[in-house]
Chain A
Amino acid sequence: MSVDERTGAAGYGGSDDEIWVSGADWEVLEDAVTEGRLTVNVGPQHPSTHGVLRLVVELEGETVMSVEPVIGYLHTGIEKNTEYRTWTQGTTFVTRMDYLSPFFNEVAYCLAVEKLLGIDAPPRAQAVRVIMMELNRIASHLVWLATGGFELGAISMMIYGFRERENILDVFEAQTGLRMNHGYVRPGGLAADVTADFAQQCRDVISYLPERLAEYEDLLEQNPIFIHRTQDVGVLEADDAIRYGVTGPLLRAAGADWDLRKAQPYCGYEQYDFDVATETGADTYARFLVRMQEMRESMRIIDQAVDALPDGPVMVEDKKIAWPAQLGLGPDGIGNDPTYIRHIMGESMEALIHHFKLVTEGFAVPPGQVYVPVESPRGELGYHVVSNGTTKPYRVHVRDPSFVNLQSIDHMSRGHMVADLIAIIATLDPVMGGVDR
């Protein structure tokens, strides 16, 4: 290990390059301003940092010498909070972590709880989860396209990206009642069945999107400014990516054919025919291509999943686990279905007891620990869930891809211009809700 005498930062010398990850805070860095070097603080409130990311950048002229991410400004204690709520309530917390891909959080958490319980959600619930996740992947990538384009000066991309995403959010709202932070996926299945026109809504989205995406691709791919701003910027080769723990589109853009949906399928991904998008450029441009391709592959999956959507329940049969609410439109808007309320209040004492016990206390989960990863739009999103046999999680830890990927920012930025740093932040696509949790 070597220590940088100027900044006090330390790292490990690799075989042919050096690994520098950690940051120090401002007080340490203040003394580090030497002749010809300038330490600049970017963020935490800065339009280009995707939230409250703070970067301490050391510059020599306009060349970036080092970048140190300082995070924690959006720390909300979600992991701690889940330990005080029931297993079902946990979904409402985890969905707020990576707020651009809430369904992935929910599904990964629920798969972990289901694995602890030793149950499987019914096929229909699994298929709807897949559709929702893939729609969510497109929505998330559209935000990346919008903000990433915007930060490189393609202002119209901002409007287009958010406009297309809005259509997907409309589908989410129609099915879950919310545009984001859905709390729709529950341990054992889903909160409610999808509506009758769900398939049509999905088909509508994937019918016009390819055409639009092609248009945006033309706008950017053929644009000399975009090409100059992205090609050979922020190169991260596959072996370095793995050393930094970087997964997802960044790893695939470096030529690694690693996608958890293929390698370790969950939710029945093995039934669908799709390809893993890879590129060999390992730069920002290659990641752009990978993400565009991923959106198309997601549409293929949605197409197949909607066609093959099985019938049946969306929640496990086990009344000791299944969330009892039957959502419906009551006289006062959304709430419990009047028929269901009549059933528990007037017809079945057992149903009332189950409802009461599950809603107030929740179900107990056998002791043990699991680690369940899913392939989120940013990489491997893993849930390490520990139970001690009670109705509340004992520990929920989230391996958020944004958090891990952020470590590579220094490696990618060294030697680039300040303007390229903005492109590199955009290509990482970090979501600070996930980073800080």
Chain B
Amino acid sequence: MPAAARDADGRDHEAARADQTGTLPNDGPALRAGTDVGVAELQTIADRIRERFDEVDTTTARGELTVFVPAERIRDVVRFCKEDEELACELLSDVSGVHWPGGEHVVEPQLSTTGWPPNRLTRDRGTIEVTYHLLSMSNNHRLRLVVAVNDDPQALPTVPSVTSVYPTADFHEREVYDFFGVHFDGHPNLVRILMPEEWDGYPQRKDYPLGGVDTDYHGAFIPPPDERVWSRDVPGAGGGKVGP
């Protein structure tokens, strides 16, 4: 494992990797649904990518290979994955985003139910991980590329578009832009795809509330599930929220 890649933007792959492997043992079988590639073979693929690009970082968990790529290299890495004979990823299956806000997060996996200890994660800065899933039909393997960008919408997080390599990325990248506010440099038509064009905000971000529903019944409002109060708010009855 080379040292964690940090680019000029200070983007941190270390934090991302903490979520990859977690602090818990993963003792599940290495080969499960959705993958039939041996771990050894994944290692070969990982080595091949690392050989070609020394700024990438790889990790293998649950029989899936994840490659962390600095944003400015993503187009080169994707092109390499497509054109290289051993990798031969003809199909870009999916592009999605995951928002990891900055600050300290305490993950409470419910000691009483699972027996797992709480898990503290500190992130110096929030990131949005743009995740690409590549599939090689000829060699029958998959791999995942992860690009982490700053999550501050004011900073215009930008990733080079891969539509010139995989035309199918068009809709996918529009979707990530629509929901996370990540801009794809070189995309032919970066407009919202599922939300209306005049929509304000990026709904899949963690700081964007789910929102409740107005009803016609006496002007009642149904709050979103994370804000619902399940018991009647009687003073002294400790009417609180259920759940975290």
Binding site for B on A (CB under 8 A): 1, 3, 8-12, 19, 21-25, 71-72, 75, 77, 79-81, 83-85, 111-112, 114-120, 242-247, 256, 258, 263-267, 320, 357-358, 360-361, 363-364, 366-374, 380, 382, 384, 386, 388-391, 394-395, 397, 399, 403-404, 406-407, 436-437
How many Å lie between the Cα of A360 and that of B64 in the bound state? 32
Q: Give the interface SS of chain B, mostly helix, strand, loop or mixed.
A: loop
> Residues 208-243 of chain B: 1 if any A CB is under 8 Å from the residue's CB, otherwise 0?
001000000000000011100000000000000011
> Residues 1-42 of chain B: 1 if any A CB is under 8 Å from the residue's CB, otherwise 0?
000000000000000000111111011110011111000000
A–B pairs, 15, beta carbons within 8 Å: A22-B188, A75-B195, A115-B28, A245-B93, A246-B168, A264-B35, A265-B36, A367-B22, A369-B144, A371-B64, A371-B94, A373-B34, A391-B110, A404-B168, A404-B172
Q: Which of B187-201 contact A (CB under 8 A)?
A: 188-189, 191-197
| B133 and A12 within 8 A (CB) | no
| Known A367-B19, A391-B109: A12·B34 in contact at CB below 8 Å | no
| B33 and A267 within 8 A (CB) | yes
Which chain B residues border A81 with CB–CB below 8 Å?
Answer: 210
How many Å lie between the Cα of A85 and that of B66 in the bound state? 27
A12: contacting residue among B105, B140, B163, B242, CB under 8 A: B163
B29: contacting residue among A118, A263, A382, CB under 8 A: A118
Which chain B residues border A399 with CB–CB below 8 Å?
Answer: 93-94, 96, 133
B113 within 8 A of A: yes
B92: contacting residue among A245, A358, A403, CB under 8 A: A245
How many Å lie between the Cα of A244 and that of B36 in the bound state? 25
CB distance from A434 to the nearest CB of B (A): 12
| A390 and B109 within 8 A (CB) | yes
| A12 and B164 within 8 A (CB) | yes
| B166 and A115 within 8 A (CB) | no
Nearest CB to that of A258 among chain B residues? B137
B244 within 8 A of A: yes
How many Å lie between the Cα of A355 and that of B199 in the bound state? 42
| B167 and A12 within 8 A (CB) | yes
A370: contacting residue among B36, B64, B110, CB under 8 A: B64
Which chain B residues border A71 with CB–CB below 8 Å?
Answer: 193-194
A75: contacting residue among B23, B109, B164, B194, CB under 8 A: B194
How many Å lie between the Cα of A10 and that of B27 in the bound state? 48
B153 within 8 A of A: no
| A245 and B33 within 8 A (CB) | no
How many Å lie between the Cα of A406 and that of B197 in the bound state? 19
CB distance from A87 to the nearest CB of B (A): 12
| B26 and A118 within 8 A (CB) | yes
How many Å lie between the Cα of A373 and that of B64 in the bound state? 13
B131 within 8 A of A: yes
> Residues 81-111 of chain B: 1 if any A CB is under 8 Å from the residue's CB, otherwise 0?
0000000001111101111000001011110
How many Å lie between the Cα of A380 and that of B196 in the bound state? 27
| Known A71-B193, A363-B113, A367-B22: A21·B167 in contact at CB below 8 Å | yes
| A357 and B113 within 8 A (CB) | yes
How many Å lie between the Cα of A112 and that of B63 in the bound state? 12
